[in-house]
Amino acid sequence: MKRFDLAVASALTLLGAFVTREALATRADIGAERNASFGIARVDTTAAAPSDSVAPPRRPITVTASAVLPDIRRQLEEASEYTYINDVIASHDSALARWPDRAGNPLRVWVQPTSRYEGFNAASVPVVRQAFVEWSDLGIPVPFTFVVDSSMADVRVTWVEKFNESISGKTLWAHDEEWWIIDANIQLAVRHHSGEILDTTSVRAIAMHEVGHLLGLDHTTDTTSIMAPKVRVRDLSAADRATAVLLYKLPAGRIAESPLPRRRAVGDQR
């Protein structure tokens, strides 16, 4: 009888531990809801946009008078002519997504140093690292540091042979319910989807584009910018720089009172 009572007591203890663990897990999920989005890059390997290309006029931002704080409204309206922040807002269902300020706490980045795929060029690794440096050099409060152990990384950049779609890079990032980015990883292709090996110049353009996604930017209709869906330039434009700087002067979150339905994937899927 004593043995039976002991068995029952043990079972009740295990059940109680299980219920407690599930309750804590559920509470954690509610506090930090993860919503995944994709950033996608296509690279034009034939020619870059001419240096004298003129960007198309930018659409004005239209938001309800009571939808945002006056200071944020003012900054968005003033920036509509020299940034593509309106494209970012539209792509994110009327929200701004960004990392919390990390001054003194850099994001640890691991770039896969080797790959088994034929055509991989080890010279691409420092090129990818430099893409992170160039975005960080804008003065945004998200510094990066590079680690050699992937298990210690906050962000991992890995290589795939090629994508089945007509793309050359992909960023998967997640945000919490307040639109603060909490996780992100990047995949870069060794070959274009049609088979040709991507040289380091193309890899640079793709990496620059994907790091932009990782920071919270999205595609723009401005073809002279690195964040155009089909990348035709190799360096950050004035609009790329200004949009990233503005994004990190504003808080994350929705700017409209009535949110649109959530989307799981963001990016041109054609």
Q: Among candidates 268, 270, 263, 269, which has minimal Cα distance to 35?
A: 263
Return the H-helix or E-strand segment holding 110.
strand 107-111
**230 three-state secondary structure:** strand
The number of CA neighbours under 13 Å toward the Cβ of 84 is 26
- Alpha-carbon distance of 173 to 215, in angstroms, equals 9
Beta carbons of 187 and 141 less than 8 angstroms apart: no
The alpha carbon of residue 77 and the mean position of all alpha carbons in its chain are separated, in whole angstroms, by 24
- Alpha-carbon distance of 262 to 270, in angstroms, equals 20
The alpha carbon of residue 242 and the mean position of all alpha carbons in its chain are separated, in whole angstroms, by 17
Q: Are strands 155-160 and 95-96 parallel, antiparallel or unpaired?
A: unpaired
* Whole-structure pTM value: 0.75
The pLDDT profile of the chain, 270 residues, written as one tens digit per residue, is 455 455 545 554 544 544 444 443 433 333 344 454 555 656 554 444 444 444 444 443 333 333 456 677 778 888 878 999 999 999 988 899 999 999 889 999 999 999 999 999 999 999 999 999 999 999 999 999 999 999 999 999 999 999 999 999 999 999 999 999 999 999 999 999 999 999 999 999 999 999 999 999 999 999 999 999 999 999 999 999 999 999 999 999 988 653 433 333 333 322
Q: Are strands 35-43 and 169-175 parallel, antiparallel or unpaired?
A: antiparallel
Q: Among candidates 239, 140, 221, 144, which has minimal Cα distance to 186?
A: 144
